[in-house]
């Protein structure tokens, strides 16, 4: 008996956040819909490198990759930013982490309206899609209606794979473990995230200010914690690493003086196993993210599996899973996105995102350092919340519910060799 053909266009083989989302989504889809024949079109994701599937022996996913589309699929799924959404199948689903600010570009609303269903990672993006409107005008400049969301949007959180992220004892043969063992401090804060574009204090992950707050908070203390910074900017090369070091040195120079607490840089990509070893190393005590906005915040959810404290901004996607009463969520206010952080058709002018209050950041740092054992029971409760509600298995259940609700029983055309209409342009596939 033929199965319904479902094709997922996504950056499944890349070392990127969207790559991780793609792999988890496809695995969940295969389990949720065994009656579908799931195939994959592998796509680029910016400048992030390929090779994840081979490096991690993901043979089942690799074997589902097809070079192109010969049949019009029953179900077409794109995992990308909304302005790239194109309806190719009988039923079309757009999957996106959405937006990190308070408004999205008009091309995003046009994109989501081209699909039959949108699945986004958190309530933050769902609300932005629902509330963003644009006044349309005709060629004469007269009002011609309002551009707004017309298609259903549902939240499909990015469930953590507890087979990859779990509490474990240090592996004495691990490179990352041995590297962390050389750190002289026994208490280290951890930052994980790309150091993105933007002047100081205006990069989306807010890496610069997070470092500055750490340095100024602990420089006068006799006993100092350390900061482990897992980051990169454009790529994992030596030039990028040098640039990161220069940015850190400039922050110190602008503060002035000396006697700073130590910062240890982990530059470039790490495999999942080493990331898990990093999270669970006994010297890593807490994760910190004074982010300006997250579509979801995968590293934060992953870190909850350690049962260790998290300090984070109290706004945007990650607040879906980080309970306010169990984590150190800092306050602040929404301010206009600085022009140095604009991204074409994505992070736009006249949108806002979160500025964490510097004093509250310092207070949270100090509290976590001085009252660590006191806060641990709350962190362990957050671990229980994650295991109960935010795992990959729970995500699979939620995906099945959404698909059962929205996707109609489709006439199977698997044996029918129908070429795609010429006007449909598929996303570019990666070069070999």
Q: What is the pLDDT of residues 64-105, one digit of tens each?
A: 999 998 889 999 999 999 999 999 999 999 999 989 999 999
pLDDT of 353: 95
Domains of the chain: residue spans and CATH: 4-158+392-406 (3.40.50), 175-389 (3.40.50.2000)
Confidence at 40, pLDDT banded by 50, 70, 90: very high
Among 118, 283, 266, 99, which Cα is nearest to 184's? 283
Q: Is the pLDDT of residue 331 over 50?
A: yes
- Residues 405-422 have a mean pLDDT of 59
User: Is residue 422 predicted with pLDDT exceeding 60?
Assistant: no
With a CB cutoff of 8 Å and minimum separation 6, the contacts of 34 are none
pLDDT band of residue 200 (cuts 50, 70, 90) is confident
Q: Which residues contact 208 (CB under 8 A, 6 or more apart)?
A: 195, 200, 201, 247, 251
Residues 244 and 233 sit within 8 Å (Cβ to Cβ): yes
**Predicted local distance difference test score (pLDDT) of residue 136:** 81
Is residue 1 scored above 60 in pLDDT?
no
Given a contact cutoff of 8 angstroms between Cβ atoms, the answer to whether 323 and 385 are in contact is yes
Lowest mean pLDDT among 125-129, 167-171, 180-184: 167-171
Q: How confident is the model at residue 201, as a pLDDT?
A: 82
Average pLDDT of every residue of the chain? 91
Identify the pLDDT of residue 71.
82
What average pLDDT does this structure show over 7-15?
95
Are 216 and 317 in contact, with CB atoms under 8 Å apart?
Answer: no
Assigned token pair, 26: 């496809």
Sequence-distant (≥ 6) Cβ neighbours of residue 369 within 8 angstroms: 187, 218, 225
Could you write out the DSSP letters of every residue in 120-170? ESSHHHHHHHHH--EEEE-TTS-EEEEE---S-EEE----B-TTTS-----
List of residues 6+ apart from 288 with CB closer than 8 A: 189, 190, 191, 210, 214, 310, 311, 312, 365
Q: Could you tell me which of 350, 339, 297 has the C-alpha nearest to residue 124?
A: 297
State the pLDDT at residue 234: 74
Rounded to an integer, what distance in angstroms lies between the CA atom of residue 136 and that of residue 147? Answer: 6
Q: What is the pLDDT of residues 203-253, one digit of tens each?
A: 999 999 999 999 999 999 999 999 999 998 877 789 989 999 999 999 999
Give the pLDDT confidence score for residue 415 in this predicted structure: 45
Run of H or E residues at 288: strand 284-289
Residues 151/113, Cβ–Cβ less than 8 Å: yes
Q: What does the alpha-carbon distance between residue 136 and residue 230 come to, in Å, rounded to a whole number? A: 44
From CA 6, how far away is CA 122, in angstroms rounded? 24
In the structure, what pLDDT confidence band is assigned to residue 341 with cuts at 50, 70 and 90? confident
Please give the pLDDT value at position 347.
Answer: 86
């Amino acid at each position: 008996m033929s199965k319904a053909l479902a094709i997922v266009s996504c950056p499944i083989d890349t070392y990127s956040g969207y790559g991780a989302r793609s792999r988890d989504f496809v695995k969940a889809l295969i389990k949720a819909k065994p009656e579908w024949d799931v195939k994959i079109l592998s796509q680029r994701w910016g400048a992030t490198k390929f090779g994840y599937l081979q490096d991690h022996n993901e043979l089942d996913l690799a074997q589902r990759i097809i070079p192109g589309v010969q049949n019009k699929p029953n179900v077409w799924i794109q995992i990308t930013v909304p302005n790239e959404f194109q309806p190719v199948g009988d039923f079309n689903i757009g999957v996106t982490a959405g937006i990190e600010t308070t408004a999205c570009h008009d091309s995003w609303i046009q994109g989501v309206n081209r699909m039959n269903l949108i699945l986004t990672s958190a309530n933050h993006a769902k609300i932005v899609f629902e509330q963003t409107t644009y006044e349309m005008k005709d060629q004469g400049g007269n009002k011609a209606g309002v551009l707004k969301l017309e298609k259903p949007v549902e939240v499909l959180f990015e469930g953590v794979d507890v087979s990859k992220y779990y509490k474990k004892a240090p592996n004495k043969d691990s490179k990352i473990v041995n590297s962390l063992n050389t750190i002289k401090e026994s208490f280290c804060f951890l930052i994980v995230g790309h150091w993105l574009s933007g002047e100081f204090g205006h990069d989306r992950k807010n890496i610069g200010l997070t470092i500055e707050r750490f340095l100024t908070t602990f420089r006068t203390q006799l006993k100092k914690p350390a900061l482990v910074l897992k980051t990169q900017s454009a790529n994992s090369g030596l030039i990028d690493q040098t640039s990161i070091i220069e940015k850190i040195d400039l922050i110190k120079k602008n503060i002035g003086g000396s006697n700073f607490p130590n910062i240890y840089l982990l530059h470039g990509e790490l495999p999942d196993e080493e990331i898990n070893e990093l999270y669970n190393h006994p010297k890593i005590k807490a994760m910190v993210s004074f982010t300006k906005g997250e579509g979801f915040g995968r590293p934060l959810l992953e870190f909850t599996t350690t049962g260790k404290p998290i300090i984070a901004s109290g706004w945007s996607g990650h607040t879906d899973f980080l309970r306010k009463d169990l984590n150190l969520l800092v306050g602040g206010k929404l301010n206009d996105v600085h022009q140095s952080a604009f991204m074409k058709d994505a992070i736009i002018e006249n949108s806002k995102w979160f500025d964490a209050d510097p004093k509250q950041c310092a207070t949270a740092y100090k509290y976590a350092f001085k009252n660590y054992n006191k806060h641990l029971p709350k962190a362990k409760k957050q671990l229980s919340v994650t295991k109960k509600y935010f795992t990959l298995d729970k995500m699979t259940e939620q995906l099945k519910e959404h698909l059962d609700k929205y996707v109609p029983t489709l006439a199977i055309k698997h044996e029918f060799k129908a070429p795609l209409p010429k006007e449909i342009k598929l996303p570019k596939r990666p070069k070999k």
